[in-house]
Amino acid sequence: MTLEILTSDSLSDTRHGFFTRRGGASSGVYAGLNCGHGSTDQTEIVTINRNRVADAMGVSAEHLAGVNQVHSADVITITEPSRDKPKADALVTKTPGIALSVLTADCQPVLFADSKAGVIGAAHAGWRGALDGVLEATVDAMEALGAARERITAVIGPCISQRAYEVGPEFFEDFLAEDPAFDRFFVQGQGDRLLFDLPGFGLSRLRNAGVAHAEWTRHCTYSDPERFYSYRRTTHAKEADYGRLISVITL
């Protein structure tokens, strides 16, 4: 099966893609394009999958940059290929030929570009990172490389949608403690449960950061098991582990 790559016209000046799970070499619960070495999938199979992604992006595997994601607001500036994967949740570069990548399985993968300045970024934004400011920090790091926020386009890829993201009252209280206006990203669920709008929250943070354009591809990872991995779906199904989707951008 060939790779399935979702793209956005808003990022057409870059080579980029939100890869689905289709077209990979993994099997079992990982069936498809599992690109996460943090999973317990076979290391050599994950490497094959990542090589396929690099090929699709027109770069060598050594130029596919990533980070050790820890749900932080930390951003790394990449200037040259490296095997190191520092702890962070976003990357930025202005170096042609380097492909920035993030891994997700319900969290938001966000790709950024200021094509005029030749600066790109990629962020992994779960609820914790988004609340702590990883999206704004990515915009700041791009500005430090010469981007202008009023030219930056940001696209949120496949992530968990509100109808599938049930949370408890403590989660809700964490957001209200930060800003009471954040209650608009929640609707009532069953009993004391609420439903949280992660991509809506991400779009709001991006727009408040002053980017020129922000959008979500409107794909829900939880509700489409044929195309996407989902940590939450795996948890509900009591499966042992789950694959990781990859999203990539290069100049």
* 63-110 tens-digit pLDDT: 999 999 999 999 999 999 998 899 999 999 999 999 999 999 999 999
Residue 142: predicted pLDDT: 98
Strand order in the sheet with 245-250: 5-6, 15-19, 245-250, 99-104, 64-65
In the numeric block, the tokens 């794909």 are attached to: 219
The answer to whether 182 and 172 are in contact (CB under 8 A) is no
Closest residue by Cα to residue 197 from 167, 231, 229: 167
CB-based contact 180:120 (threshold 8 Å)? no
129, part of any domain? yes
Q: Which of 53, 51, 44, 48 is nearest to 20 (CA)?
A: 53
Question: Is residue 72 domain-resident?
Answer: yes
Domain that holds residue 151: 5-161+216-250
- Determine the pLDDT at residue 1: 77
When pLDDT is cut at 50, 70 and 90, the band that residue 247 belongs to is very high
Question: Is-contact 70 64, C-beta < 8 A?
Answer: no
- pLDDT of 232 higher than 90: yes
Q: What is the pLDDT of residue 110?
A: 99
Question: Total domain count for the chain?
Answer: 1
Residue partners of 191: CB distance under 8 A and separation at least 6: none
Pairing of strands 166-167, 108-114: unpaired
CATH of the domain at 228: 3.60.140.10
Model-level pTM?
0.98
Residue in this structure with the two tokens 């449960």, named with its chain if needed: 193
Residue 198 falls inside a structural domain: no
- Domain membership flag for residue 95: yes
Kindly state whether residue 191 falls inside one of the protein's structural domains: no
For residue 188, CA distances in Å to 115, 185, 214 come to: 41, 10, 26
Inside any domain, residue 207:
no
Question: Does 58 reside within a domain?
Answer: yes
Domain membership of residue 208 (yes or no) is no
Question: Cα–Cα distance between 214 and 112 in angstroms, integer?
Answer: 9
